[in-house]
Structure 1
Amino acid sequence: MNEQEIRGLVADVKEGTLSRRSFIKRMAAVGIAAPLASQILAWNDVAMANATLDYKPTKAGGGGPLKMLLWQAPTLLNPHFASGTKDQIASRIFYEPLAGWDKEGNLIPQLAAEVPSKANGGLSADGKVVTWKLKQGVKWHDGKPLTADDVVFTWEYAADPATAAYTTGAYKDIKVEKVDDHTIKVIFKEPTPFWADPFVGVAGMIIPKHHFGEYKGAKSREAPANLKPVGTGPYKFAEFKPGDILTGTRNENYHIKNQPHFDTLEVKGGGDAVSAARAVLQTGEYDYAWNLQVEDEVLKRMETGGRGKISAVPSGDIEFIILNTTDPWTEVDGERSSVKTKHPTLSDPAVRQAINLLIDRDSIQKFIYGRGGTATASFVNEPKQFKSPKLKYEFNIDKANKILDDAGWKKGADGIREKDGKKLKYVFQTSINAPRQKTQAIIKQACQRAGVDLELKSVTASVFFSSDVANPDTYTKLYVDIEMYTTTQPQPDPERFLNQFVSWEIANKENKWLGRNVSRYSDPAADEAYKAAQKELDPAKRAALLIKVNEIFCEANVILPILSRTRVAASTTNLSHDHSGWDVDSWNIAAWYRS
């Protein structure tokens, strides 16, 4: 076997089409011993880690200000309460996980000294124990050292039901032990094929015990650090006006040599995606703008000015609709859309099936999103081995009308269908954003032709995606009949992404509406398949189980996927940034620089 053939097999392992075990067996067949084969993969991992961004500055600082636009303004800075991507991005500036995901889907050490592997003793043979070694010499922004105690505390904090953390799903079923001041063990109850969830990426940011220790559990919302973070990240907290502006200054004791490049950081919130794109691509007033959910033709015109460029990277993100099978208009025990209720009309599978046929996905892609998305019927689309091969979409008004006719929903004098005194009239909610309002209009027009009446509701993005337990208009409350938004796949494996479809993650008053299952729908078969996937070590069998979870919700027409989204951002032409589709935009902000 020559070098080129070996490189091809390494690429197959990276893409997930060949397991590491199969790679090692193939190497053994040509006389390459298992330890050396494992080392070849390890060398490849190191090469990818070094290749994530070609960082050129030779000293820290000197870059002046870095100005970012998050047009959905951050409202909090505790990563374990951050249900909205905007708050996760803002939190990641100050807090770091043990490892993050680059744009190629590689796991990159951040607070960890290395990524655990069988070769370095970090992964046990039985798939139940992961050993993480921390970088030494890392300090919190107040000068205190980062130790294993902080990692163990982060687990205790997020796993405590009284904390009501958004990240609790990553921590509640594990045990974490301190080995020494710079080593911890994560112990799983069962063999766990996807172990890179606790302490990794969006869910993995480590918080300091000495600032949050008194605020674990029921007092979690009272912690001053929820709005004034003390982290290990490249920038220190300076000022935060929720819903408006966030500023930071360079961390002079940052644990990576010559980073960060910029002296100050400003994150401006508010406005809309179009104005954010204009402020980078046309005026150059800002260096970077996130989540440009803007018609592609508009972006192309702006790019001609030459001040900025568009970055579009593949991701597992999905723009989709939820059809609420609970009753959003009846309050039970202090909450609407309670699982104790049943929606008067959307609980009918025929109605849900008809509405799914009334979504013109191809037109939404062609005339609105362009580079920003691809029409799909599957909730999971990336990586490809996890996408359902049988889920298909169709736009067919005639077929939708027949389904409703056959189900006994007759058109009244006003043209709206009804049965047993109940009308097919719905409030359809999303965030304020031009592509989403245009998508709403396209769907409303088709629904009218089938006797379904939609009242369109648009909520300011900073409210819609906030974690404010007192606000009825947040997306996790689902206090409407129909809702549309994008949810982000936080890593190149859909296991955690699909916990939005399990019964124990249902958003409700008890967990302060931070449960990941916003739809409230559940199915025992989905729960069973998900639990089986969590301990299935055979890659093909595990993928089949996760595909089944996806199919159950999509075939029930509770979840109506619209577009597989690419992550679109804008930057000035002289900004080198590390934009990943598998992590938040700020995941490696320490390495950004101006050329």
Structure 2
Amino acid sequence: MKLKTLMLGAAAAFALAPASAMAERGSDGEVKIIYWQAPSILNPFLSGGTKDVESASMIIEPLARYNEKGELVPWLVDEVPTVGNGGVSADLTTITWKISSGIKWSDGSDFTSADVKFTYDYCTHPEGGCAQLTKFENVESVDTPDANTVVVKFAGPTPNPYGPFVGGESPILQAAQFANCLGAAASTCTEQNFNPIGTGPFVVDEFKPNDVITMSANPNYRDPAKPAFAKVTFKGGGSAAASGTAVMETGEFDYAWNLQLAPDVIAKMQEGGKGTPVAGFGPLVERIMLNQTNPDPNLPEGERSTAMHPHPFLQEPAVYKAMSMAIDRPLLVEIGYGQAGKVSCNWVPAPAAFASEKLSCDTQDIEGAKAMLDAAGIVDSDGDGVREHNGVPLSILYQTSTNAVRQDFQALIKDWWSQIGIETELRNIEASVFFGGDAGSPDTFQKFYADVEMYANTFNGTDPQAYLGNGLCDKAPRPDTQWQGENISRFCMPEFDALHAELTKTADMAERARIGRELNDMMVENGGMIPLVHRGRLSAHANSLGGVVLNVWDSELWNVADWHRIDG
């Protein structure tokens, strides 16, 4: 089966099985999942890494989430609040959630509105560092009039009130378990962060960071017939190639995530007959982030990669525009993703209404890049092949996670940049470390101790308001946030902040889309990042695993409670 077919029909091909096909809780034995980026923590508020958010989503859950069509669906509540059903106030300043009755934490205690309010207090604590803080942008208060009611009040009219407590990135923490983990203490709570009590279908038996998680079926899960699997082995680490092989060729594992591999490699694996790739396009973009601050190791610790020291040349338009012009994106798509990739000039390529058509980047222009640098007076004055800007050589450290496709991209881009007079040192870091949230590590993508770094990320749902908030000045990781924060490039532009504030107050969908496109353009045109490839999400499951529905709008493991074993 070709990847193009998979892109068009993944969800339809593996729709949920009817209830009669589901086994009793725990009767299907063990399911084995492999993520080649190993989880390092099970608290998504302390990590922006997808592998941490998705592994945690099997245990802790939000009030509502998005299905495979991008539709908002109730999860721990009776219905999604809207203006029509009275759950959202007519003036758009309040949203009221009604928690479903009888929901229990995995320890048997009641799940209540107090846990929801605590989660808000936890993430917004002024002495803490929360990786998901943009979800709570513009929230004024969270009130709990009774055990089953949560009232979120916003500072002003908020047409999209579905940031807090929605999607895999904004789950609910148990107040009793995390009571002593507020503020600066958050990162010290190892037991809580590694073994969260949840409402999800599974509970943690043992968590070995950057290695393996073992889980069991939650005995207090709200549906007595689910999950079908009694045990989960969630293996982390290795490579995308090894993960794909383990599902599609050897049958050792049941589900492999994010098979970032060349198309011919996927096709060869599928010939093994043990598994099937599934794919779909959401808003996932492989990009190069440009550090707006100086990562020089000679700077004092605590000042590197902070706003105290601007980058010596990456804020110069001629430099970052020339770097982008030198890249052959169609070739990157061809060698890296085939039909599972598209050239992207945008930070937000989907949904279509938010995808800008203003930017053009699908044609490489080495000579034009050289001419742009020459015109800006950025030339090689000493004949060593490297241009200088105000006496500083255009010499950069380019880092990314360890992955065959990414290392291929690095090698090609290094060559293209050398052709325009930019010297590049390549570095790759083990993915579980790079995408981890350890404030003490110098190698995380949040700390950004390099000039440029490459990765991909996405957002939950179909409205990118919170995601676009990643460009706000105050969301930059820094020492006083324990290096948490979504503004990885340290981009800071007052006009961007003002326009994003306008987005939060705009109700008309056409106008929201227009503002979203303008924010996208502002980030790219002003050097926050260089988009490369709009990537399809490609994973694989065993032919014996039923119930899998690939979801590009939320956690891929969103419906793991419905997974079951297919006989024969």
TM-score, normalised to structure 1's length? 0.89
| Residue 432 of structure 1: how far off its partner (Å) | 0.4
Contact preservation (8 Å) 2:35, 2:235: yes
Q: Tell me the equivalent position of 1:132.
A: 97
Is 1:177 aligned with 2:124?
A: no
Among candidates 416, 430, 433, match of residue 463 of structure 1: 433
* Structure 1 letter corresponding to 2:50: T
Deviation larger for 420-429 or 511-520? 420-429
Alpha-carbon distance in structure 2 between the residues aligned to 1:172 and 1:546 = 16
Q: Tell me the equivalent position of 1:517.
A: 487
* Structure 1 letter corresponding to 2:208: K
Query: How well do the aligned residues superpose, as a CA RMSD in angstroms?
Result: 1.6
Q: Tell me the equivalent position of 1:583.
A: 554
Contact preservation (8 Å) 2:23, 2:564: no
Do the aligned partners of residues 420 and 105 (structure 1) sit closer, same or farther apart at CA in structure 2, a change above 3 Å counting? closer
- Deviation digits for residues 201-260 of structure 1, max 9, x if unmatched? 123211111111122222222322111111111111100111111011111221024210
* Structure 1 letter corresponding to 2:246: A
Alpha-carbon distance in structure 2 between the residues aligned to 1:446 and 1:389 = 25
Alpha-carbon distance in structure 1 between the residues aligned to 2:358 and 2:18 = 41
Alpha-carbon distance in structure 2 between the residues aligned to 1:359 and 1:315 = 23
Is 1:294 aligned with 2:264?
A: no
| Residue 325 of structure 1: how far off its partner (Å) | 2.4
Among candidates 556, 565, 568, match of residue 594 of structure 1: 565
Is 1:225 aligned with 2:192?
A: yes
Deviation larger for 533-542 or 416-425? 416-425
Is 1:503 aligned with 2:484?
A: no
Contact preservation (8 Å) 1:352, 1:558: no
Q: Tell me the equivalent position of 2:526.
A: 556
> Which SS does the other structure have where 1:318 is aligned?
strand
Among candidates 387, 411, 430, match of residue 355 of structure 2: 387
How many correspondences in the alignment?
546
Which segments of 5 or more consecutive residues in structure 2 lack a partner in the other structure? 1-11
Q: Tell me the equivalent position of 1:43.
A: none
The 5 A counterparts of 1:77-476 are 77-171=42-136, 173-174=138-139, 175-223=141-189, 224-329=191-296, 330-332=298-300, 334-393=302-361, 394-411=363-380, 412-476=382-446
Contact preservation (8 Å) 2:26, 2:217: yes
- Deviation digits for residues 67-102 of structure 1, max 9, x if unmatched? 000111111111211211111111111101101111
Do the aligned partners of residues 583 and 53 (structure 1) sit closer, same or farther apart at CA in structure 2, a change above 3 Å counting? farther
> Which SS does the other structure have where 1:203 is aligned?
coil
Contact preservation (8 Å) 2:134, 2:467: no
Contact preservation (8 Å) 1:69, 1:276: yes
Q: Tell me the equivalent position of 1:31.
A: none
Alpha-carbon distance in structure 2 between the residues aligned to 1:126 and 1:326 = 40
Alpha-carbon distance in structure 2 between the residues aligned to 1:99 and 1:420 = 52
Alpha-carbon distance in structure 2 between the residues aligned to 1:171 and 1:327 = 29
* Structure 2 letter corresponding to 1:201: G
- Deviation digits for residues 35-71 of structure 1, max 9, x if unmatched? xxxxxxxxxxxxx9xx866553052221110100011
* Structure 1 letter corresponding to 2:555: V
Do the aligned partners of residues 423 and 106 (structure 1) sit closer, same or farther apart at CA in structure 2, a change above 3 Å counting? same
Alpha-carbon distance in structure 1 between the residues aligned to 2:73 and 2:437 = 29
Alpha-carbon distance in structure 2 between the residues aligned to 1:582 and 1:543 = 18
| Residue 549 of structure 1: how far off its partner (Å) | 1.1
Contact preservation (8 Å) 1:323, 1:558: yes
Alpha-carbon distance in structure 1 between the residues aligned to 2:477 and 2:389 = 30
| Residue 523 of structure 1: how far off its partner (Å) | 1.0
Alpha-carbon distance in structure 2 between the residues aligned to 1:460 and 1:544 = 38
Contact preservation (8 Å) 2:16, 2:562: no
Contact preservation (8 Å) 1:159, 1:172: no
Alpha-carbon distance in structure 2 between the residues aligned to 1:130 and 1:410 = 56
Contact preservation (8 Å) 2:386, 2:422: yes
| Residue 200 of structure 1: how far off its partner (Å) | 0.5
Alpha-carbon distance in structure 2 between the residues aligned to 1:187 and 1:53 = 39
- Deviation digits for residues 434-457 of structure 1, max 9, x if unmatched? 000001111111112111111111
Alpha-carbon distance in structure 2 between the residues aligned to 1:419 and 1:220 = 42
Alpha-carbon distance in structure 2 between the residues aligned to 1:167 and 1:421 = 39
Which segments of 5 or more consecutive residues in structure 1 lack a partner in the other structure? 1-47
Contact preservation (8 Å) 2:379, 2:388: yes
Contact preservation (8 Å) 1:432, 1:458: yes
* Structure 2 letter corresponding to 1:258: A
User: Larger relative contact order (C-alpha < 8 A, sep ≥ 6)?
Assistant: 2
Alpha-carbon distance in structure 2 between the residues aligned to 1:157 and 1:537 = 29
Alpha-carbon distance in structure 1 between the residues aligned to 2:442 and 2:321 = 28
- Deviation digits for residues 368-393 of structure 1, max 9, x if unmatched? 21133211101111100001121111
Q: Tell me the equivalent position of 2:5.
A: none
Contact preservation (8 Å) 1:73, 1:268: yes
* Structure 2 letter corresponding to 1:274: A
Contact preservation (8 Å) 1:416, 1:452: yes
The 5 A counterparts of 1:472-487 are 472-487=442-457
| Residue 333 of structure 1: how far off its partner (Å) | 6.3
Contact preservation (8 Å) 1:273, 1:292: yes
Q: Tell me the equivalent position of 1:72.
A: 37
Contact preservation (8 Å) 1:318, 1:486: yes
Do the aligned partners of residues 351 and 172 (structure 1) sit closer, same or farther apart at CA in structure 2, a change above 3 Å counting? closer
Contact preservation (8 Å) 1:578, 1:591: no
Alpha-carbon distance in structure 2 between the residues aligned to 1:190 and 1:399 = 47
Do the aligned partners of residues 321 and 95 (structure 1) sit closer, same or farther apart at CA in structure 2, a change above 3 Å counting? same
Deviation larger for 264-273 or 545-554? 545-554
Moved >6 Å (runs of 4+): none
Is 1:542 aligned with 2:528?
A: no
| Residue 409 of structure 1: how far off its partner (Å) | 2.2
| Residue 419 of structure 1: how far off its partner (Å) | 4.5
TM-score, normalised to structure 2's length? 0.93
Identity %: 37
Do the aligned partners of residues 495 and 54 (structure 1) sit closer, same or farther apart at CA in structure 2, a change above 3 Å counting? farther
Alpha-carbon distance in structure 1 between the residues aligned to 2:310 and 2:44 = 33
